[in-house]
């Protein structure tokens, strides 16, 4: 989660700090998602707009898109001088994944991509895991 999003256990709600104002969202998956997306909109409106449009255009990628935004905005992507990216795993046991160009397409060494379960936006094009999306979002956010 972004730094300005917290879960208030006593009040059973998510809270997003916005200057002197605190926005509140209900507990649960929907409340968490809405709080996170609101925080992204406040922190980086351009990235929020890009992710929202992508999620709308490609609903099969929506959950990967928003997880990738979280990785990109929480310093989970290190852009290397050679054009590759090191993308942090959201479960610390796996370390970083490497995203790089291979034969004109982005590739990742994560299980999702290597196991051929990454999702395509359109048939026959680039498959996307959340690490490739996070790498691309980090380029936009930089």
Are the CB atoms for 80 and 142 separated by under 8 Å? Answer: no
Residues forming beta bridges with residue 21, ordered by sequence position: 18
Q: Is the pLDDT of residue 49 over 90?
A: yes
Over pLDDT 70: what percentage of the chain?
Answer: 96
**Of how many residues is the chain composed?**
142
Among the listed residues 121, 116, 135, the one whose alpha carbon sits nearest the alpha carbon of residue 76: 135
Q: Is the pLDDT of residue 89 over 80?
A: yes
Say if pTM beats, i.e. exceeds, 0.85.
no
Between the CA of residue 70 and those of 21, 81, 142, what are the distances in Å? Answer: 22, 23, 14
| Residue 22 burial (CB count, 10 A) | 12
């Amino acid at each position: 989660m972004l730094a300005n999003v917290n879960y208030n256990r006593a009040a059973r709600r998510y809270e997003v700090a916005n200057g002197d104002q605190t926005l509140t969202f209900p507990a649960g998956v929907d409340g968490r998602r809405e709080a996170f997306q609101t925080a992204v909109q406040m922190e980086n409106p351009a990235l929020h707009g890009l992710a929202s449009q992508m999620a709308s255009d490609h609903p099969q990628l929506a959950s990967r898109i928003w997880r990738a935004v979280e990785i990109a905005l929480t310093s989970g992507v290190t852009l290397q001088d050679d054009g590759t990216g090191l993308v942090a795993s959201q479960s610390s046991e796996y370390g970083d994944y490497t995203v790089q160009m291979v034969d004109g397409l982005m590739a990742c060494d994560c299980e999702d991509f290597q196991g051929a379960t990454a999702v395509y936006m359109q048939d026959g094009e680039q498959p996307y895991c959340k690490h490739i999306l996070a790498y691309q979002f980090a380029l936009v956010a930089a």
